[in-house]
Structure 1
Amino acid sequence: MPNKYNGKNHDEIKNTDDEDTMLLPDDLNDYRQYQQPRQELPHLRKVGSNTSRPQQKNGERVYTSNDPPQFPQSGQPPQFPHSAAPPPPMHQQSGQYYDYNQQPPQNYSGYSQTPPPAAPTAPPPQRPASQSRPAAAPEPEHQPKKKKRKHKSLARKIIGRIIRSLLVLFLLLFGIYSCTSLSLISKMNHVETGNRTHYANNTGRSHVRSVLVIGTDGRTNDDRGRSDSMILVSLNSKTNELIMTSFMRDCYVEIPDNGWNKLNAAYAFGGPELLMDTIEYNFDVRIDDYVSVDFASFVSVVDSVGGIDIEVSDDEAEEINVILISEVNELMGDDRMSDLLDHGGKLHLNGKQALSYSRIRKVGNSDFERTQRQRRVMSLIIAKLKSFRPSMFKHLASDVIPDVSTNMSTLDAYLLSLRLPFAARYKMKQIQIPAEGTFYGADVDVGNVLQVDFDANMDVIEREVFAK
């Protein structure tokens, strides 16, 4: 094999390893146009000419000094064009030329050194198509999500406290209402239900709860008297209506085991039980419970709610005075000429005046307008009771409730009282039996009566009271 140096032992190229060298930028033309005259530039001199040359020892090059040759300024070993890419300059700034005579660097603002191009990077190895990518690890939850959970947890706590507070408030109000209701119910005059014969069933009518309110003309608790007014109060949970149905006392009806007579005579013959049986027998409406109020109780009810405001005609005002003088003032133990009215109009009536107004028969269409006045007074009393005040409780408990009689048990009366707050939202409706066009007047052995078309009135009751 021929010698790689053409038969020579070396290439006769001068070795400059012992001298410091400097690499100049490639773009010399841009550098030269800003170059100053040669004579003005500081002269360069060789540094390290006296540096010890390397010695050969056992075939290896050895320096006489402890460190390899270095540049005086940079303190780095010399670099060569064929060596690896030079490391980035440690303290060198672009546009400066270093003088190795320990002089400060000269700044040439017009020159900018172009950085060497970046070495190309090898593309990442391609994953075989058959090899599936491993499932990515689930990302950890971020801190904002934890904060949201904290906010949600705080919101749940607040909502829970509000719900608990409302529940406690509801139980407190429910307890107060229950205690008040039971206290009033316990003061009522509870009467055992006598013998009953039901002639009507309640099939398909369970959504209606009815109580017959009986107003008697008895002057004392021992005086049964006759039923002066008979109003069936019904709560319809399907239509959210409170229906007051007046039964006219002159209806000519068949009283079970007592023949034909006026409706109000049934109360005189057999009390409230026979009256309820008579209404069931003639009008096919089931009645289980009743509340009986006499004259004195009616007066106390009106006075307990603070009286009523009602429109009164001059003829009605005059008839009120007649009734006050003839019976009501004497019944209540007052002077016969007390509480008389001067004229008609929008008047505020007390208990005695409201009772006299409800008993008017000689003004207008006799018993028809009489029952209409009774329903009007009752509706005004119910409207006053909706705005219940503590002062009402005192008067009701001491003056009214003890004079009210009922056949309802304490439990049944309490369960009915729980429906009253909801009934306060019900629409109020009034009807009378017999309905218009379903009767005619007649004169029989018991006096002037109303001959009734019973089938037509049953249809009216079914349509108005038991509607769904």
Structure 2
Amino acid sequence: MKSYLNHLLFLLHFGFMLSYSAVAQDTTFIHKEVKPIIKGSLIKTPEALGISPKVQKAINEMTNPPINIALFGVDRRNTHDQSNSDVIIILSINQQKGQVKMSSIMRDTYVNIEGKGMDKINAAFALGGPQLAVKTINQNFEMDIKDYMNVDFYSAAKIVDALGGVMIDVKEAEVPYLNNYLDELVNIGTVSKAEHVSKAGLQRLNGNQAVAYTRIRYVGRGDYERTERQRSVMVALFNQIKNAGQNMFPVLASQVMPNLETSMNNMTMLGFASGILGAKNKAIEQARFPLDKQSTGKRINNIWYLTTDLKATAVSLHDFIYKDIKPLNKN
């Protein structure tokens, strides 16, 4: 029981760190130094968070509703930059059922951003930091998110290495792109030599290789499969750490928590984890939104957006989080 508490707490911190690894798709920068912990803050009134009276009423009428947390991966060169959140995941924790769900939101989704108008959802973080980013998710998808986490993706590579790597089934078409991103690390001076992946198939990736894997975009269905790679690495790591025993806690304390930006304190996160101790369902359920059937790519003013019926997408998202209805996508 106590061991599983450590595992769940680790997931809350580290699962997001892996989600960030895809952020560098449009930039080759990686921090050379691990930054100190950043304590984020949010104004948590319903109005400031964009939680409507309708949503508040619906949540209040539920028995033990899931707790939803926004996970952002922000493309920034230092902790003071306000850049696009190219990774957006809603982590839902159902304490009663012992369920953990990840809902990826496509970064190019065309939404309304308060004070800006219609734009890509990933622009909200650059325009107004985590406060506006959380508010944008809540307003467009009728959510009740009150907390967020964000982390420099460089830390994800450090954590993968600390765990001894992660097992990933790499496709033949992905190998050259993965190695190309590893070469970029050499070009910017992050590493002196690229440790290339020599073949396809199930294999153990080190930290930099895992980060490179989740950056791959130009294979398969582009950004659609990129979000799948993010979740694949997260799930693989979670499955690995479930059996790691109590030795996981020092890793969490020394290499995860110091690099985490969050609006939550450690006791709050421990409370989330303790609520699902002993649950039978310890697997991560995952989905990507908007659904294929509810979205289409469109150029507006010569910029590509993923347009969607926001109301229909909100319903599909709610069905997954609150009703255990698994959505279907092409990938």
Distance in 2 of aligned mates of 1:435 and 1:339: 36
Contact 2:95 2:276 in 1 (8 A): no
Deviations 1:134-156 (A, max 9, x none): xxxxxxxxxxxxxxxxxxxxxxx
TM-score by length of 1: 0.57
Distance in 2 of aligned mates of 1:194 and 1:368: 32
Question: Cα gap change, 1:330/1:389 in structure 2, threshold over 3 Å: closer, same or farther?
Answer: farther
Counterpart pick for 2:203 among 339, 347, 363: 347
1:193 maps to a residue whose letter is L
Contact 2:49 2:146 in 1 (8 A): no
**SS of residue matched to 2:51:** coil
**Farther off after superposition, 296-305 or 457-466:** 296-305
Contact 2:98 2:276 in 1 (8 A): no
**Farther off after superposition, 238-247 or 454-463:** 238-247
When Rg is computed on C-alpha atoms for both structures, the one with the higher figure is: 1
Question: Cα gap change, 1:308/1:437 in structure 2, threshold over 3 Å: closer, same or farther?
Answer: same
**Are 1:356 and 2:212 matched, yes or no?**
yes
Q: CA deviation at 1:289?
A: 1.0
1:453 maps to a residue whose letter is D
Unaligned runs of at least 5 residues, structure 1: 1-169
**1:294 — aligned with what?**
152
**SS of residue matched to 1:310:** strand
Distance in 2 of aligned mates of 1:355 and 1:332: 16
Distance in 1 of aligned mates of 2:262 and 2:240: 22
Contact 1:224 1:268 in 2 (8 A): yes
Counterpart pick for 1:276 among 134, 155, 159: 134
What pairs with 1:51-70 in structure 2 (closer than 5 Å)?
none
**1:444 — aligned with what?**
300
Contact 1:261 1:446 in 2 (8 A): no
**1:190 — aligned with what?**
39
The structure with the largest helix share of the pair is 2
**1:334 — aligned with what?**
191
**SS of residue matched to 2:322:** coil
Unaligned runs of at least 5 residues, structure 2: 14-35, 325-331
Distance in 2 of aligned mates of 1:225 and 1:332: 23
Contact 1:230 1:249 in 2 (8 A): yes
**1:307 — aligned with what?**
165
**Are 1:251 and 2:109 matched, yes or no?**
yes
Contact 2:98 2:275 in 1 (8 A): no
1:345 maps to a residue whose letter is G
Distance in 1 of aligned mates of 2:232 and 2:279: 18
**1:464 — aligned with what?**
320
Deviations 1:60-103 (A, max 9, x none): xxxxxxxxxxxxxxxxxxxxxxxxxxxxxxxxxxxxxxxxxxxx
Q: How big is the alpha-carbon RMSD for the aligned residues of Structure 1 and Structure 2?
A: 2.8
**2:84 — aligned with what?**
226
**1:434 — aligned with what?**
290
Deviations 1:311-330 (A, max 9, x none): 1112211101111112x455
Distance in 2 of aligned mates of 1:423 and 1:385: 17
Question: Cα gap change, 1:290/1:332 in structure 2, threshold over 3 Å: closer, same or farther?
Answer: farther
**1:66 — aligned with what?**
none
Contact 2:73 2:150 in 1 (8 A): yes
TM-score by length of 2: 0.78
Distance in 1 of aligned mates of 2:70 and 2:61: 20
1:364 maps to a residue whose letter is G
Distance in 1 of aligned mates of 2:313 and 2:86: 21
Deviations 1:250-277 (A, max 9, x none): 1011111111111111111111111111
Q: CA deviation at 1:387?
A: 2.1
Using the aligned pairs only, state the percent identity: 30
Counterpart pick for 2:125 among 259, 262, 267: 267
Ranked by relative contact order (alpha carbons within 8 Å, sequence separation 6 or more), the top structure is: 2
**Farther off after superposition, 194-203 or 268-277:** 194-203
**Are 1:215 and 2:64 matched, yes or no?**
no
Contact 1:297 1:404 in 2 (8 A): no
Distance in 2 of aligned mates of 1:223 and 1:298: 19
Distance in 2 of aligned mates of 1:354 and 1:348: 9
4+ residue segments displaced more than 6 Å: none
**1:235 — aligned with what?**
93
Distance in 2 of aligned mates of 1:232 and 1:422: 23
Q: CA deviation at 1:413?
A: 2.4
Contact 1:386 1:424 in 2 (8 A): no
Aligned residues: 290
Question: Cα gap change, 1:191/1:330 in structure 2, threshold over 3 Å: closer, same or farther?
Answer: farther
**Are 1:203 and 2:52 matched, yes or no?**
no
**SS of residue matched to 1:306:** coil
Q: CA deviation at 1:422?
A: 3.9
